[in-house]
Amino acid sequence: MPKVSAERLAATRRRVLDGARQAFAAHGYEGATVRLLEEETGLSRGAIFHHFPDKEALFLALAQEDAEEVAAVVDDAGLVEAMRRLRDKEAGWLGVQLEVARRLRTDAEFRATWERHLRDIARATQARLARQRDAGVVRRDVPVETLAAFLSLVYDGLVAHLATGMPVAHLDGVLDLVEQAVRETATTTSKGHH
């Protein structure tokens, strides 16, 4: 039997992930049966489960990939930039995010596993805000933890809204307003020094 190249294995793994993302987005985790996974990926169950031991591992791989991507954007450019990039996300990405949110609420085991990713994103957000505060960019009259919680809530709300398929009117203006809310201004500077 010929040996399969690493590139071909990686391409097949990517195909499994991309197809599974579509299946989870369209049918939810529970509704994404093996038959639907086969249809979305165009691969047999043997090929799918060669790369992932089960559906749970497949879902976690997608969710982890997404969480790492968001944490990297937050660390590099901030959570508001991560929000701006949401407009380019396809329905499959947004659907996985909704499924993560649902499972955080309903599955204690998943929540325990997932809390590390949530802490990584929170840590990256707070570290960036602290650096920007030191540089005089972020307001000083509100604790960094509160600013990070505010941004996280806006992000989660935006993900939920976009995942419904509803457009966000004036998204750039809304995100500019969010950014202004955390920026240092002459007013917050004078309030912070009273």
Give the residue from 52, 76, 94 where a domain finishes. Answer: 52
Provide the CATH number for the domain around residue 7. Answer: 1.10.10.60
Residue 33: per-residue pLDDT: 94
Q: What are the two backbone dihedrals, phi and then psi, of residue 138, each rounded to the nearest 5 degrees?
A: -100, 140
19 and 96 together in one domain: no
Q: Over the chain, what is the mean pLDDT? A: 88
Q: Which pLDDT does position 23 carry in this prediction?
A: 92
What DSSP element (H or E) covers 88? Answer: none
Number of domains in the chain: 2
Residue range 21-54, pLDDT digits in tens: 999 888 888 899 999 999 999 999 999 999 999 9
Q: Which residues, 6 or more positions from 126, have their beta carbon under 8 angstroms from its beta carbon? A: 144, 145, 148
Burial 131-168 (b: 16+ CB within 10 A, else e): ebbeeeebbeebebeebbeebbebbeebbeebbeeeee
Which is more confident, 113 or 106? 106
Residue-number span of the structural domain to which 25 is assigned: 1-52
Same domain for 81 and 39 = no
Q: Do 26 and 119 fall within a single domain?
A: no
Say if residue 11 is in the same domain as residue 34: yes
Same domain? For 89 and 178 the reply is yes
Domain of 173: which CATH number? 1.10.357.10
* pLDDT value at residue 1: 56
Please compute the mean of the pLDDT values over residues 58-81 and round it to a whole number: 89
The structure's pTM equals 0.81
Pair 78, 122 in one domain: yes
Claim to verify: residue 63 and residue 42 sit in the same structural domain = no
